[in-house]
Structures are given as structure tokens and as C-alpha cells.
Amino acid sequence: ETVLATDKNFQWLDKPTGWFWFKELYGNRALRRIRKMLCVTDTLELDDLRAGLSRMRRELPPDRTLLAFCRQVPGFEVEGSRVRAKSQLNHDRILNQTERDICRILSEFGGCMSKLDLASRARHLDIKRATFYQCVNHSPIVSKQRGHFSLIGADSKVPAPVSRPTRAGMADHAR
């Protein structure tokens, strides 16, 4: 503890339980993932925050510690169990191309689509199958439930099936 505390970037999140972070550490995975989530929703409920971070396959801190982390991040605000960015985040700088494409597709259909419909739309954008599944299974911006994918934080009512586009109908979206 004494050695860690001498680092100017060291910050306790919850000293009794031993949770801390380095505030100037470039590449903080949790912080990158929270920023990605806040690109697709204005406010993150604690449950959505935990769901997006759980895709890292790492131990997550207790709720109060997770919220303490968000309180210490410049540009974030915490109100109760909700987290939001103080200003609009830049999608182009934060999300990768596949995440932007999946976000756009889901947004066009109310934020939620069946796996089959989303995969079909992604195929028409020439998103490779492996890339598509990597994104929907690991990106913090996508939530999966009962055979449907939705944007994190979206009202996830299961929509009616959408008609699948023809290749010609998606030509204007091709890469």
C-alpha cells in the first residue's frame, strides 16, 4: 500500500475492500468500455453498466465501488445508480467500424433485432461473419437476450421481424 500510494495517479475506490485504480493509466479497459456504452445511450443504469463490463470476463467490483470509479472519471456524472457523460462522446473516435455499423443497424430498428435479422443486415454491409459474432458477443454496446440483440441501455422489447434486404437494396451502405 505504501508503495502504491506514492504514485500520483493512485486513487482508492474503496480502501476497506482493497479496490483502487491509476487515474492516468492509458488503456484502462473498464474506462474504454464505459465510454463505448455511453456513446450509444445517454444514461447507463447500474445493471447495464455491469452487463457491459461483465463481457471483459474479469471480476467486477461491488456496486458502490463501480460507482465510485465512475465518480472519479473526469467527464462522467453519477446520480444515484445512473452514470452519464457530461458531454456528447465522439462515436467515430470511441467505437470501431463494426460497432458503428451494428449501432446504426440496431438504431434504425428501434435498438433491438433478432439475431437472424441483425446478422442478415450486417452481411449486406459486408461485415464478415467472424467479425460480426466477435462484436455482438464481446462488445459492451450490445446486449443479448432471448435470441435478440439490443443496444445497451435500449428498451429491449422484442420487435416484429424485419424484412431482409436484397443486395441491391443495401448497395448504398456497402463499404
Residue 120: pLDDT above 90? yes
Confidence of residue 143 (pLDDT cuts 50, 70, 90): very high
79: enclosing H helix or E strand: strand 76-79
Residue bearing the bigger pLDDT, 29 or 98: 98
**Which amino acid appears at position 116 of this protein?**
L
Percentage, residues of the chain above pLDDT 90: 57
Residue 143 φ/ψ, nearest 5 degrees: -115, 140
Among 20-34, 41-55, 156-170, whose mean pLDDT is lowest?
156-170
Position 3 scores a pLDDT of 66
* Cα separation values, 83 from 87, 107, 137, Å: 12, 21, 23
CA distance 35 to 96: 12
